[in-house]
C-alpha cells in the first residue's frame, strides 16, 4: 500500500503513475509466486490451471490450451520432442487479451520449462538446483497479461506459454534426433540440454501463424548461462534485427530501470546452427557465442514481415542474495513500460 502526499495540481498525474506501478507490482508478484513453487507441484498442467484461475478475474482475458495430442496434431514437433519423455505431458497455453475489438495484436512468448534436468545430456546436481525457475519466461508473460488486464489498456495482446518438463526417461529425446517444427523446419537436437530454444521456436512459429500481421513478437527465456557470463545479473540480453524495436526496448529499459543490453544477431552466426542432416542444429559444436547462436536459431521461426526480439533473462529472472535465489518478476517492468510508451504515441 502506498500513500502519497502531493500538491493538488499533481494528483491526477500521480494517481495514474501509482495505479500503473501497483498493477505492475501485482503482475510481478503473481509471476514470482508461480515460479517459486516446487517443480513437483508446478507441472505444465498446473501452470495452465493456475493461469486459468488468475485470468478468470478479468473478463478481457481468455485462455486457449493445446494438450499433448493437439500439440502433435498441429505439428509442434519441437515442443513435443522436449516434453514427451515425462509423465506430466507438455502444454501450449495462449492467453488472449482483447482490450479493443480491432487492431494489431502484440505477441509475447515465454519459455516454460517447469523443470530442466538437461534430459539425457544430464546436468550435474549443482547445476540442476534452480531449474524449477526455467519457466520464469512463461510466468512473466502471464504476469504481464494480468498487469495489462488490471490497467484495462486499449490494446490486443496474445501471450503464449510453451510448457514442458525436460527429463530423462525411456521416451526422452536423444542426441542426434531430428524433429520438425510447426513451420516445417527440421532441427537436429545435438544437445538435449538446449531444450528451451526448441520449445520457443515452435511457440514463435505457431504465434506467427495465428497472427501473421502481428505488431511484433517478443520472446523471453532463461535461455543460456552464457548471457550471465557476458552481462552479469543486472542486464537482460536483447537480440533483434529490427532497429526500431531494439531502440524502443532499450529506451523502455532505461525508463523502467529494467535494462537490456544488445548482443549481435546477423548472418555471421549462420555456421553456428549448421547441420548436415537437418535445416538447423540446436547448439553450435564449437561452443562459441552461445547466447547469440540461440537467437540466430530462433529468428528462423519468425517471418521477416513481423518485427521480433529475443530477451535472454537468465541473469535477471532471479534475485540472488545470501546464497538464495528467488524469482524477480523481470522483465515485466520493461515490457509494460515499452507497451505504455507505444500507446502514448
For the stretch 16-41, what's the b/e string if a residue is b when 16 or more beta carbons lie within 10 angstroms of its beta carbon?
A: eeeebeebbeebbebbbebbebebee
Q: What is the spatial distance between Cα 160 and Cα 141, in angstroms, rounded to a whole number?
A: 7
51, 95 contact by CB (below 8 A):
yes
Residue 55 CB coordination number (10 Å):
22
Q: What is the spatial distance between Cα 110 and Cα 35, in angstroms, rounded to a whole number?
A: 13
Peptide bond preceding 331: is omega within 30 degrees of 0, i.e. cis?
yes
241, 303 contact by CB (below 8 A):
no
Q: Is 132 among the residues known to form the active site?
A: no
- C-alpha closest to that of 284 among 270, 266, 300, 298: 270
Q: What is the spatial distance between Cα 312 and Cα 207, in angstroms, rounded to a whole number?
A: 19
- State the catalytic residue, choosing from 33, 62, 123, 215: 123
Q: Cell for 28?
A: 510481478
Given phi > 0 = left and psi -120 to 50 = alpha, else beta, which region is 127? Answer: alpha
- State the catalytic residue, choosing from 32, 91, 132, 197: 197
Q: Is 156 among the residues known to form the active site?
A: no
The secondary structure of residue 132, as a DSSP letter, is: G
Dihedral (CA of 42, 47, 49, 52) sign: positive
Catalytic residues: 123, 197
Amino acid at each position: 500500500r502506498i500513500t502519497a502526499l502531493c500538491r493538488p495540481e499533481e494528483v491526477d498525474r500521480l494517481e495514474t503513475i501509482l495505479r500503473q506501478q501497483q498493477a505492475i507490482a501485482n503482475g510481478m508478484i503473481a509471476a514470482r509466486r508461480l515460479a517459486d513453487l516446487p517443480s513437483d507441484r508446478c507441472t505444465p498442467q498446473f501452470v495452465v490451471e493456475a493461469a486459468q484461475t488468475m485470468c478468470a478475474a478479468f473478463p478481457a482475458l481468455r485462455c486457449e490450451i493445446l494438450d499433448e495430442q493437439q500439440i502433435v496434431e498441429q505439428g509442434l514437433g519441437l515442443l513435443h520432442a522436449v516434453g514427451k519423455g515425462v509423465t506430466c505431458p507438455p502444454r501450449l497455453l495462449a492467453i488472449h487479451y482483447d482490450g479493443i475489438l480491432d487492431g494489431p495484436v502484440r505477441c509475447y512468448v515465454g519459455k516454460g520449462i517447469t523443470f530442466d534436468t538437461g534430459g539425457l545430456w544430464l546436468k550435474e546436481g549443482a547445476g540442476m538446483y534452480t531449474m524449477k525457475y526455467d519457466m520464469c519466461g512463461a510466468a512473466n508473460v502471464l504476469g504481464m497479461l494480468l498487469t495489462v488486464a488490471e490497467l484495462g489498456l486499449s490494446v490486443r495482446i496474445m501471450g503464449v506459454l510453451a510448457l514442458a518438463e525436460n527429463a530423462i526417461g525411456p521416451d526422452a529425446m536423444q542426441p542426434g534426433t531430428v524433429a520438425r517444427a510447426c513451420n516445417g523446419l527440421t532441427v537436429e537436437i545435438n544437445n538435449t540440454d538446449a531444450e528451451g530454444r526448441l520449445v520457443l521456436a515452435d511457440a514463435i512459429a505457431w504465434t506467427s501463424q495465428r497472427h501473421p500481421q502481428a505488431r511484433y513478437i517478443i520472446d523471453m527465456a532463461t535461455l543460456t548461462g552464457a548471457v550471465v557470463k557476458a552481462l552479469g545479473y543486472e542486464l537482460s540480453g536483447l537480440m533483434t534485427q529490427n532497429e526500431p524495436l531494439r531502440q524502443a526496448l532499450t529506451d523502455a529499459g532505461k525508463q523502467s530501470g529494467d535494462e537490456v543490453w544488445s548482443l549481435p544477431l546477423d548472418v555471421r552466426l549462420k555456421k553456428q546452427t549448421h547441420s548436415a542432416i537437418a535445416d538447423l542444429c540446436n547448439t553450435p559444436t564449437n561452443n562459441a557465442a552461445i547466447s547469440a547462436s540461440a537467437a540466430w536459431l530462433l529468428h528462423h521461426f519468425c517471418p521477416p514481415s513481423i518485427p521480433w526480439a529475443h530477451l535472454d533473462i537468465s541473469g535477471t529472472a532471479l534475485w540472488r542474495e545470501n546464497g538464495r535465489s528467488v524469482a524477480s518478476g523481470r522483465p515485466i517492468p520493461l515490457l509494460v513500460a515499452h507497451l505504455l510508451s507505444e500507446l502514448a504515441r
